[in-house]
Copies of this chain bind each other. A is one copy, B any other.
Amino acid sequence: MTPTRTNRKQQIIRAAKELFAKHGFKGTTTKMLAAKVGVSEATLYKYFTSKEDIYYALLEEKLQNIESYLPTSQKTSIRKTLEEIVVNFLEKNTDDVSFTKICLFAALEQNAYSKNFVQKLRKKLFTHLDKLFENWISEKKIKELEPDLLAKLFFGLLFYTLLLRTIFHDEKFSQYNLQYLAQHIADIFLTGVLNETT
């Protein structure tokens, strides 16, 4: 594939990402997409066989390029590790809101392909996180609960925070700096909200 050809494909995917995020799959028309890319609708079909094909390419690409929000280096403390996860996750996904939206649309629209995508995505997101909790449990550092339950509940805190910041446009959560949020989320998850004196 010539470099131009790849570029055009990328252009289309990039434009599609924005539009699908804003209007969903059904809500995005090929006309809108062509206009955004600055080509004719016919041109779209020189690069992709169908609107669905563009959608799939978009999801597929995301699945490949998904960046880990997990710390690369071994952290000394659980707390630091969790804090870094929070910051990483929110940082990466705040910049690319469309991805979050597209994932949610995919989860909601529920055709065979998007179901598969969501499944793969969740696997990718949790494989490493699960392991982290497993290790901590086996090291007796944290309570002996099912590691994936812990991973998912922790992720729930992240995920909902992300939604508050990017989709629900919660004023407060949007203004908090990430460090501050990370500290509180990590703290609550580790030690709970009860007053120590209690």
Contacts and interface: CB of A to CB of B under 8 A. Distances in A.
Contacts of A122: 168, 170
* Size class of the contact patch on chain A: 35 or more
Interface in A144-169: 145-146, 148-150, 152-153, 155-157, 159-161, 163-164, 167-168
A193 B188 CA distance: 9
A172 B148 CA distance: 9
A108 B109 contact: no
A11 interface: no
A104 interface: yes
A86 B170 CA distance: 22
Nearest to A26: B26
B27 A141 contact: no
For this chain, the copies found in one complex come to: 4
Given A101-B108, A156-B161, A157-B153, A189 B191 contact: no
A190 B189 contact: no
Interface in A117-158: 118, 122, 140-143, 145-146, 148-150, 152-153, 155-157
A149 B174 CA distance: 12
A159 to B, nearest CB: 5
Interface of A: 22-24, 26-27, 78, 101, 104-105, 107-110, 118, 122, 140-143, 145-146, 148-150, 152-153, 155-157, 159-161, 163-164, 167-168, 170, 172-173, 184-185, 187-195, 198
Given A142-B193, A156-B160, 16 more contacts: A104-B108, A105-B108, A107-B168, A108-B108, A141-B194, A142-B195, A149-B172, A152-B173, A153-B157, A153-B160, A153-B184, A153-B188, A156-B159, A188-B189, A188-B192, A189-B193
- Closest 10 A-B residue pairs measured CB to CB? A156-B160, A192-B192, A191-B192, A26-B26, A26-B27, A190-B192, A142-B193, A190-B194, A156-B157, A156-B156
